[in-house]
Structure 1
Amino acid sequence: MRLMFRWLVRIAASLVALAVLAILLIYYLASQSLPDYDRTVPVADLVAPVEIVRDNANVPHILGESDTDVFFGLGYTHAQDRLWQMTILRRTVQGRLSEVFGNRTVAIDRLMRRLDLYRLAQQSVSAQDDQTRAALAAYSAGVNARLGEINERALGRGAPEMFLFNAPIAPWQPADSLALVKLMGLQLSGQMANEVLRARTALMLDDPARLADIMPDAPGTAIAALPEYASLFPDLPRFAQGIPMPDDPLSPFPRPGLAGASNGWAAAPSRSASGGTLLANDPHLGFTAPSIWYLARLELAKGGVIGATIPGIPVVLTGRSARLGWGLTSAYLDDQDLFIEKLNPDNAEEYLTPEGYKRFKSRPSIVEIKGEKPITLTLRWTENGPVLPGSLYNLASVTPKGHVAALGWTVLNPQDTTLSAAISIMGAGSVQEAIAAAEGYIGPAQNLQLVDQENIAMKMIGWVPRRDPDHQSQGRLPSQGWRAENRWQGRMPYASNPEFVAPRGGILGNTNNKVVDRPFPDHISFLWGDTQRINRWNRLMQARQVHTRDSFIEAQLDPVSFTARTLLPLIGADLWFTGEAAPEGTPERRRQTALRLLADWNGEMNEHLPEPLIYAAWLRALQDRLIRDDLGPLADAFTHVEPLFIERVFRDIDGASAWCNVRQSARTETCTDMARLALDDALVWIGERYGTALESLRWGDAHQAMQDHQILGDVPLLKYFVNIRQSTSGGDNTLQRGRTIGTGPEPFRNVHGPGYRGVYDFADPDSSVFVISTGQSGHFLSRHYEDLAQLWRRGEYIPMSLDMGLARAGAVGVTQLVPAE
């Protein structure tokens, strides 16, 4: 017995020792790819030396003798810190993820091949101006210099992920960067998904007038009545079920309600305490680890530029120079239209046009799959755009038999000069120069906020499709592609894009809200990203005669929900303080406790408070009760509460209170009944997940920022090293925006928000500040993988200075790239 025990101990000790050795070996191999920031690197393709000074936050300050040398250095630093991220983004837009990840990503590759973004990017290289082509070539050479260094010195394949997913990395090409711009456009686009959902909802509703309730227009002048979708396609089943699309962290197709968003505002000297212009910007995208953003400073011939870049793209997208500051918010331009194309019943290779049947433009495309046989797709294009599969946003459910759907989209331009425009904006010296430089910007459409030393401005940049005034659906629903009046007729002139220069009030801004109220077809959009945050922003801006950098920071970090302050008095109008005392532990007592907490609450979505969780759960349960009866399973597609819908129902606008009555029940329910029942639903749900002690709840426990590694985030044990999760304040409708996922067992997870924040003060430019939500490095063993995350969570920033003395004072390393002999 004693001998057996000794052997068991020896075996256990051996297994532990082997496990420790395996961990040490894995750590050793992974750590080989950690970049050395403090060295001299001979580079074959370099003409003159480039110096890369990394300040104490690991922000590279890149100096060279020419602009091309500086772009070379940016390519090198991007590849040093974010090589895995860059290669995954490139494979995504190429539709080549399955070569690495096998069957898991085949559906994504199929969709990306249909859009053909990479081929369009290749065609766009020749359309760039000389400055941009030189920048692209130099940037690509910088990335490839780092790849050459990795291959020559065996630097752990460049990233720890490469050991798990070994695949060759092709040299970087100028088209790769242009393709990533188009990929960002896809991630920011929400019009296509909205068209499909609008059509599906129209088919489900018995009363067409109710569509304006559940999918309301932003407040403003009403539009003319639209045709019912069923009348456009009479043969379409009224209650067709959809086909699910891939739901994978690698998918670039935004979930409904999770397309681009942002905040940006500016103050003129007359509204600034320091007498200089102010600009604040925080673009919102899906959270990942590492962040999509990367901070950098470029010392160009026209002067220093500092701000946020995206690895793979050689431009500071939002930032400042010594003379100009610029920020971006999603414009929500209606730049996508779905066209239902009728097939020739005698020849499926032809589709109907205004001139008769024509053949699709088609070509084969082979998708290689790791460990499996390749598959061959036939890519088809009509005159309106690429033919899409029925799985995308459930297109199959709104596409009649004998038809296919095609996409018209401004980003599908083979002569796309968006990057040239972005680089020109970066080099502009004044508001007017930047507005002129943006004319070549095609997509994705953005609101460009600008400040120079004296002026402030906002200009919508991006090509606006020209639509016929007689368009059947005004671009709001999939339309008949064979009718001439539904087709695009070129673009609107750039001068007609909304523009606001030197406003009389001295302040301008955008929270993805409606910016103009023009009749169709000059309308810009019917779908806007915000009807709520703008109200809180307006209050904060007008509450002060003059603003400072700190007051702009305060507005960026404001967690107060205008929506909660507006809706709670409506939905609880007949519930506040009306019940009799109830015994402890009963549902009535919990309801009374919840109502008491909410009655004393000021609408602040603070992570440490219980009220935001009670409020969010109540509104979510209420909307589900209101629409489930009418929409059935389609109710699951409405993942986020629509505040205007709730308001319309409880104010009974145009008879919207009809949603409160449950059609299947014998009695007639009132909106008060629904509010009470929904609150009980919410409290049961909270009790099951977070406990019944309402006063002890914390919003932050439910509202965690989910900055997960897209590949390793679900791997047992490893996920604790690669994921960055933090309790956060804010919510769907606050300026400190933390958009919830809206689905699953944890619907309030924070998955979409300000991965970058910057505030620029042109009275003292070097007092400007910025931050990203993770760290600069994409290597999870680096101390710079998450060193900025806690600052970001606490609402803190790092200096955004062009002072090289400050950068050198606390530098974590200085890299010298020198021409090889």
Structure 2
Amino acid sequence: MRHIFRWLVRLTSAAIVLAVAATGLAYYLASHSLPDYTRSVAVEGLTADVEIVRDNSNVPHIFTRSDRDAFFGLGYVHAQDRLWQMMLLRRTAQGQLSEIFGTRTVETDTLLRRLDIYNLARASVEAQDARTRDALEAYAAGVNARIDEINRRSLGRGAPEFFLFDAALAPWQPADSIALIKLMALQLSGHLSEEVLRARTSLALEDADRLADILPDVPGEGIAALPDYASLAPGARRHAMAGGDGSGDFLWPVPARGLAGASNAWAAAPDRSAGGGTLLAGDPHLGFTAPSIWYLARMQLSSGGVIGGTIPGIPAIMVGRSETLGWSITSSYLDDQDLHLEELNPDNPQEYRTPDGWKAFRTRRSIVKINDAAPITLTLRWTENGPVLPGSSFDLGTITPEGHVMSLSWTALSSSDTSMSAAIALMHAPDVDAALEASELYIAPSQNLTVIDDGRIAMKVIGAMPARDPRHQSRGRLPAPGWIAENRWQGRLPYADNPEFVAPEGGIVGNTNNKVIDRPFPNHMSYAWGDSQRIMRWQAMMQGRAVHTRDSFIEAQLDTVSPAARTLLPLIGADLWFTGEAAPEGTPERRRQRALELLADWNGEMNEHLPEPLIYAAWLRALQDRLIRDDLGPLAGEFDHVEPLFIERVFRDVDGAAAWCDVRQSAAEETCTDTARQALDDALVWIDETFGTALESLRWGDAHEATHDHPVLGEVPLLRYFVNIRQSTSGGDFTLQRGRTAGRGPQPFLNVHGAGYRGVYDFGDPDSSVFIISTGQSGHFLSRHYDDLGQLWRRGEYIPMSLDPELARAASVGVTRLTAE
């Protein structure tokens, strides 16, 4: 026995030693790829030396004598800090993820191949102006200089992830950067999904009034009645089939409904500014990741200094300011996607119907290579309306009649996309007029550009606006027969038709993804908008002051009061407040009464430390599910976020909307008060099972954690504790400090989508301008700059946004000098 014990001790000791050695080796290999920010590097491709000063927040300030060398420097610093992220985004756009991740990403690769984004990007390189092509080539040279340095000096392959995944790292090309803009367009476009959902819901609900309830139009001038989808697509079945799109696929690039894009931006003219200069606040919203999609940088161009938020892989300051101009962007919700039903020739399925008869599909074969599996050969097909998408994507199979396929028209599917040229020109624009003129080149994704110079403010919708025929059968709201000429796009509307607001009389302009303009079809912008609630709070905060300051703009940017909560709680609780008989402690009735007492005294602030936001959110979620589940069946799961306009219509009984409160399958006739009470009980049971604590001890922030998760390593045991960044946060779906919830799964209130970048620019005192991102500058999880800005972001703090070189050099974390070989 003693002999066995001795050997067990020896084996255990050996295992511990091996584990420690393996951990040490892993750390050594991973840490070897940490960039050294204080050194000189001789590189090819420069015309003069480049100095890169990293301030104490690790924001690189790039100083050189030419624009070309400045873009070279930007490519170099992006590759220093975010090489893995850049490679992953490029492979996504190329449809080549499966070469690394195997079968888990086949659906993702298949979709990107069918959209043909990368080939369209390659074709678009020649469409750029000379200055932009020069910037793209210089940027690519900078990225490649860093890759070459990694290979020559054995710098840990550039990032720890490259040790875990055997990914060949091809040189960066100008087309790669254009492809990333197109990939961003895919991640910011939601009208395709809206069309599919409206079609599916139309098939499930035969009453047009009920369809108007659950998919309401933002209040404003109404539109003419539309046909239901069954009349447009004979053979489509009236049912509520559960969907099965690729949204569960690993690294699926298409956002879930409600997460396609958001953002806030507002500006004040000098006469509405206490400092006498223009003001601009902007916070674009995207899905959270670790690291953030945003990367802060400053460049010295021939036109002057420019500083703000970049996206690694794209050589442009996407949001930020120069010495004379400030700009930010918000999702415009322009309807820039249309689905078309394409009828197959019953005698030859390789042909489809057009207004002029049958025509052969344009086809091409594409091979998807798969790690540890046989390759797949796809046959890509295009019609005159656009690429053909499979029924397995976007739930298209649930609405496509037999003998038909679905094609997509989308402004981003352009082979002469000059959006990159617009981004480069914007950085050089000296004033508002030049900025608006430069943005005519912008194609997709459509955005609201809010811009200021030292004396004027403006907002304009930028991006190509499809021209539709006034006789379009569905007005772009539903998939329509592609063989009918009136349903096809008629080109692009003139840029002058894009809505714009220049030097408004009130001195304030802004956007929260709300309805921008109400023009009749076909010159409208959209029937689906991203916000009907935040705009009300924004209006109150802007008009509540005669003049604004940088700090008042920050206050609005960080505001967490929910106008939806203030509107809906008095409606759904109208017959429940302070009613009911006395109930003993520990009973469901007593718990319901206590919840109502808390909510009655609450002001609607979605503060992370309060219990009321969690009770409210759980109640509204349970209420909407009770209202729609019996009518929509499995389709109810697609409505995973509360729609305030729907709840308000039901409880105000607009056009008979109170009918949703009655459960059709039950013999009794339920009232809206009954449903509200039952939903509150449902919510309290869920809260008790999930959090198991007294109502007063609940914290909204425990449920509303911001999920800055690593897109690849975030679910790997043990590693996830190092690579994921989780933060308790305030805000919610309908607050100006927006923290969009997941909507699904066991943790439906996780904060998954919000302001990864915030900036406030004050041209009355430019060096007092501030900005922040939600994680850190580095994509290396062993770097102290991986999450150092995240806690500032969570607390609503910012870092200075200055173009003063001496401020950058003060307490810098390093200076890199690139010298020409």
What range describes the TM-score normalised by the shorter chain of this pair? over 0.9
Tell me how large the CA RMSD over aligned residues is.
0.7
2:19 maps to which residue? Answer: 19
- d(CA) in 1 for partners of 2:706 and 2:432? 36
Give CA deviations for 1:406-465 in whole Å, capped at 9, x if unaligned.
000000010000010111111111111100110010110000001110000001000100
Alignment of 1:299-338 (within 5 A): 299-338=300-339
Return the alpha-carbon distance in structure 2 between the equivalents of residues 490 and 747 of structure 1. 41
In the alignment, residue 468 of structure 2 is paired with which amino acid?
Answer: R
Q: Which residue of 2 aligns with 1:509?
A: 510
Q: 1:57 maps to what in 2?
A: 57
**Amino acid aligned to 1:626:** L
4+ runs deviating over 6 angstroms: none
The 5-angstrom pairing of residues 97-112 of structure 1 reads 97-112=97-112
CA distance in 2, matches of 1:583, 1:390: 55
Residues 496-518 of structure 1 show CA distances to partners (whole Å, capped at 9, x for unaligned) of 11100111111110000001011
Q: 1:7-156, aligned counterparts within 5 Å?
A: 7-156=7-156
Aligned to 1:460: 461
**CA distance in structure 1 between the partners assigned to 2:111 and 2:134 by the alignment:** 32
Aligned to 2:598, what secondary structure does the other structure show? helix
| Residue 654 of structure 1 pairs with residue 655 of structure 2 | yes
Asked if structure 1 preserves the Cα contact closer than 8 Å seen for 2:468 and 2:489, the reply is: yes
In the alignment, is the contact (CA less than 8 A) between 1:257 and 1:639 conserved in 2? no
- Residue identity matched to 1:745: P
How far residue 3 of structure 1 moved from its aligned partner, in angstroms, is 3.2
In 2, the alpha carbon distance for the partners of 1:568 and 1:248 equals 37
Q: Distance in 2 between matches of 1:769 and 1:208?
A: 49
Q: What is the letter of the counterpart of residue 44 of structure 2?
A: A
Distance (whole Å) between structure 2 residues aligned to residue 708 and residue 636 of structure 1: 24
Q: Give yes or no for contact 1:114–1:379 (8 Å, CA) kept in 2.
A: yes
| 2:739 alignment partner AA | G
Deviations 1:73-124 (A, max 9, x none): 0000000000000000000000000000001101110111010000000000
Cα distance in 1 for residues equivalent to 2:135 and 2:495: 26
Alignment correspondent of 1:236: 236
* AA of the residue aligned to 1:412: L
Please name the residue that 2:377 is paired with: 376
Unpaired stretches in structure 1, ≥5 consecutive residues:
none
CA distance in 2, matches of 1:353, 1:592: 63
Where do residues 713-728 of structure 1 align in structure 2 (5 Å cutoff)? 713-728=714-729
Alpha-carbon distance in 1 for matches of 2:405, 2:195: 15
Q: Say yes or no: does 1:585 pair with 2:586.
A: yes
**Alpha-carbon deviation of 1:241?**
4.3
Question: Using the alignment, how far apart are the partners of 2:112 and 2:509 within structure 1?
Answer: 38
Question: After alignment, is 6-15 or 455-464 more displaced?
Answer: 6-15
Counterpart of 1:787, as a letter, is D
User: How far did residue 469 of structure 1 move?
Assistant: 0.5
1:785-819 Cα distance to aligned partner (Å, 9 max, x none): 00000000000000000010010111101000001
> Which residue is equivalent to 1:518?
519
Alignment partner, residue 396 of structure 1: 397
Contact 1:107/1:246 (<8 A) preserved: no
1:621 aligned residue? 622
TM-score (norm 1): 0.99
CA distance in 1, matches of 2:84, 2:28: 18
- The separation in 2 between residues aligned to 1:241 and 1:470, in whole angstroms, is 32
1:761 partner letter? D
Question: Which one-letter code corresponds to 2:201 in the other structure?
Answer: T
Percent identity between the two aligned chains: 72
Rounded Cα–Cα distance in structure 2 between residues aligned with 1:243 and 1:346: 30
Q: Aligned letter for 2:718?
A: L
Deviations 1:209-248 (A, max 9, x none): 2100000001101100000101112211111443332414
Q: Which residue of 1 aligns with 2:793?
A: 792
CA deviation vs aligned residue, 1:527-582 (integer Å, no higher than 9, x gap): 00000000000011111111100010010100000000000000000000011211
Per the alignment, residue 218 of structure 2 pairs with: 218
Q: Counterpart of 1:144 in 2: which secondary structure? A: helix
Partner SS, residue 201 of structure 1: helix
2:108 touches 2:250 (CA, 8 Å); kept in 1?
A: no
Would the aligned equivalents of 1:738 and 1:752 in 2 still touch at CA under 8 Å? Answer: yes
TM-fit CA distance, 1:249:
5.4
* Residue 9 of structure 1: how far off its partner (Å): 1.8
Q: Secondary structure at the match of 1:56?
A: coil
CA distance in 2, matches of 1:642, 1:246: 21
Q: CA deviation at 1:206?
A: 2.9
- Residue type of the partner of 2:684? L
2:248 partner SS:
coil
Native 8 Å contact 2:247 2:254 kept in 1: no
Give 5+ residue unaligned stretches, structure 2.
Answer: none
Alignment coverage as a number of residue pairs: 820
Q: What displacement does 1:692 show?
A: 4.2
Matched, 1:766 2:753: no
TM-score, normalised via structure 2 length: 0.99
Which aligned pairs between 1:266-277 and structure 2 lie closer than 5 A? Answer: 266-277=267-278
- SS of the counterpart of 1:261? coil
**Do 2:534 and 2:734's aligned partners in 1 also have CA atoms closer than 8 Å?**
yes
TM superposition shift of 1:159: 0.5
Cα distance in structure 2, aligned partners of 1:249 and 1:241: 20
Partner residue in 2 for 1:387: 388
Q: Distance in 1 between matches of 2:346 and 2:649?
A: 45
The structural deviation recorded for 1:7 is 2.3
In structure 2, how many angstroms separate the alpha carbons of the residues matched to 1:31 and 1:707? 22
Pairwise mapping of residues 447-486 of structure 1 onto structure 2 (< 5 A)? 447-486=448-487
Residue type at the aligned position of 2:726: R
Match of 2:293?
292
Partner residue of 1:599?
Answer: 600
1: CA distance, partners of 2:566 / 2:259: 24
- Equivalent-residue separation in structure 2 for 1:294 and 1:688 (angstroms): 40
Tell me, in whole angstroms, the C-alpha distance in 2 between the residues paired with 1:228 and 1:7: 77
CA contact (8 A) 2:538 2:556 kept: yes
